[in-house]
Structure 1
Amino acid sequence: MGTLGIIVAIFFVVFLAMRGYSIVFIAPVASIIVIVTNGMNFFPSLIGNEASYMTGLTGFIINFFAVFLLGAILAQYIEKSGAAQSIAQKVLSITGTEKPFSVLIAIFVISAILTFGGISLFVVLFVIIPLAKPLFKQLNISWNLIVIPVFLGIGTFTMTMLPGTPSIQNVVPTNYLGTTVTAAPLIGIIATIVAIVVGVWYMKNALNKSLAKNEKFEASEDKDNQAVLKEDIPPFFLSILPILVLILIIFVGSALKVPNIVLMGLGAGVVVSAIGFHKYIPSHKQALSLGANGAINPIFFTAASVAFGVVITLAPGFKVISNLILGIPGNPLISLTIASSALGAITGSASGGLGIAMEAFAQSYLAMGVNPEAMHRISAIASAVFTGLPHSGAILSTFALTGLTHEKAFKYSFLSMTLPNLLALIAALIVGVLFY
């Protein structure tokens, strides 16, 4: 009965998420289903001070709020100053805007640079959409294709694979495994190469098929965007300087094993942005306030998923699921991969699924003697493999901002993340099993 209750709760999460309900509402209700069907003490398991839904929620916020806060403030500075626009225009000037594939490559590169610099999905979209739409219209490219370079840039190697990336998916395992954000560089670099090669191949293939079908930019897609291009923007080097400072601090600090190095890097990036972009920013108060407010929703969405996972791991019925996963034959990294990818798919969130996997299995795998660096990198990559499902927050947000629908663009969104992530994961597993 307990195990069945967990399965019912998981389906409940997926069902309501696909219908647009917030995970902040869904997660506690699903937790109640688990608590009731597993015969757990109701209020102690839901809002208790020790091991409960509420301690899972608050624990995640305590551990990671500073990362979300500083990342959101840095994103505001880079967006509001026009620095992101400056970076985008520089990349476009190098790749050119005359050929469809060049435009797609440029969008992919811009997305990757901004994401590796700690910039959020929303800022990347707000930069890219107003730049890309007139180019798509001018070249008469189907607007549906926009999701491929965007998701390839933000949802694959810069999210989980590249050593040093300040993404929350790369930070979460450090709290459970004692690793740094540059963990297992060999695995990360090989996975990155595979993801880029596969992703660019798929992007080229999808574009060729679209052109062969004579798909055009539809007039109905030419709607106004809320984002407006700025005229007075900082030069390229100044625009990218906060990102370079962030990356440099993370790599040097990780090599020296400095604790909380991601926070130091993000903090330094914010300071450099505030000073360097002073003449380009309309209001420091606005950037700081919008950044602070913008950190709230993402961390609560992720924390709610992780808290639901905490309740699951406390439930007696989870023992059956845990034993099944831990009992998968072969190298333990394989069973960890299955657990992380399944939880990422269930929650529709790589960070949420990874948080649950780490909470449930990290200590068990460490006790087996599994290399923590390999666990860090492979579980992070695995958590993102199947997050491009219809109920994914990233998918829903992107469609809302681009005006696309599941019918028109879901296939491209799913494949642009799943293919590169899956093949990169296979490569990562091979390297992890052979060398770690």
Structure 2
Amino acid sequence: MLKNFIFLLLFPVISFSQAERRPIIGFSKPDSVDIFVQYGNAEIVKKAADLIQAPESQAFLTEFNKKFPDTFEKEIRYKQLLTANVDDWEMRLYDERKSQLAFLKNYPNFDKLSPEFQKLVESNIRWNYWHLLLSYSIIRSNLDTKLTRVVSLPTVMTEALDPQKINDESALLSESYRDFLPFFITYFNSQEQKFVKYADQVKAITDKGNVAQKYLKGQVLDYTLTKLIYDNCGRITASSAKFWISQLEANNYRNLLFEHCKETLNKKEEVAKKKDDSKDKLPLGGDYPVLTGLDGKQFNFAKYKGKVVYVDFWASWCGPCRGEFPYSKKMHEGFTEKQKKNIVFLYISIDEDPTNWKNAVDNLKLDNGDHGISNGGFGSSVSQKYQINSIPRYMIIDKNGTIVRPDAPRPSNPETLELLLKLSE
């Protein structure tokens, strides 16, 4: 089972028709799967294809592959690393890199190779070293089910790999760089987790995504997140998939994931299980669901008795929800100090992952109200209680704690301000 997981992670299925359409722009065999070639930046793909398919480049690659036949063949290299100890593997990679760079420099027709192609060859050689070094740790760790920790590489082997200097859009030309990126976020995330293995795959994907956002940006980030979700959408929840898809800027990648992760995105959220002791912690006046605040403390609507509450049901992955936030903030900023004391804006997230929720609150600077979470997506307690089947959704509660508008107008609707001010009088 775990072996199948590894091959799903590193070798996603591609149809024969897709393989036929794939331009030969990499240094490995043309049937290798590369979502960047199919859905990435068309200009970069064309540039790489033009560089590699030039007659002088093809002549060089023919000679290079005779000298180093399996250098970039991932399936072969991943099998090789399983039979080597880490010191021998690193030394082998080091010697290969040195020999390959020397072969390029001393190539008889070196001057006939375009400077851009020379740079591409160097990039593939250098990033292939790091790709295969980090893959030693991740692949061996995943295959050994008895291990409770990820195999960490000796610090001396990775100290030259500065995570702050990984982001390089020009390097996306290099197939080895693209192969390296998933291992980079996996290894450095493991390092941040002190190399303890995950039991929760949703949290694992979330943490890897956060590491990607920490060190990468632009097209590099888009590609890396897409690869992460593409390879793992069957192991995460619908809410988590929607969140990460919402983080992408490139429509091509979004459309790819919407299609590839269709089964995950369409499955219904499971009803969140309530803790047995939750009813004992708070008086549930009005049978209000229990929420958890940013500080980790529980509360419910009873907390706001005597105030008018404008409830905003949302999730970090919801684009339309985000689109309404500027109107909420503008409306709140227009209140007098007395009105701000009498009217509460309460944002309730239905995210499945509290980390995504907290990051979104911070990144979006939602500082004009209170916050709570009811985990579980559309299966959460608030979603079940108030029959929330889509978001954004809004609700207004009066000073007596009565829900007077279970389906209230949006912040962008002028009627909302009138309703709140009238109720607060």
TM over 0.5: no
In our comparison, the structure showing a higher alpha carbon Rg is: 2
User: What is the TM-score of this pair, normalised by structure 2?
Assistant: 0.26
Higher relative contact order (CA 8 A, sep 6+): 1
